[in-house]
Amino acid sequence: MNQTSMPDPKEHIKKLNDIMPKIPNMRWGALTNAAPTNAKLNEISKILPHDKKWHSLFEEKDQVHIDGVTVRRKNLDSMT
């Protein structure tokens, strides 16, 4: 059987940074699956390093995938 492996997220981000435009004075860039609000941009700015690179963010109901790394969302009400 031929099994295909998942592509390396770091390689994906490297390719993303190779093809996306470089913008003067850019802190970071993000490709997302949802249109960002001002509140979301502030949240993303706290998470992403100001490294002048592009990042990928894929949001789901209970988790977010940032550059291939899964971050689970926690509801503070349920953390008792």
pLDDT digits (tens, 9 = 90+) for 6-59: 677 788 888 888 988 888 888 999 989 989 899 989 988 998 999 999 999 999
Average pLDDT of the segment spanning 69-78: 77
- Say if 26 falls within a structural domain: no
| Predicted confidence (pLDDT) at residue 70 exceeds the cutoff of 80 | yes
The number of folded domains in the chain is 1
Give the pLDDT score at 68.
87
What is the pTM assigned to this prediction? 0.72
- Say if 52 falls within a structural domain: yes
Give the pLDDT score at 52.
92
- Say if 9 falls within a structural domain: no
C-alpha dist (Å) from residue 60 to 4, 66, 80: 24, 11, 24
- Say if 69 falls within a structural domain: yes
Which domain range does residue 38 map to?
32-74
Strands (E), the chain: 29-32, 54-59, 63-66, 69-72
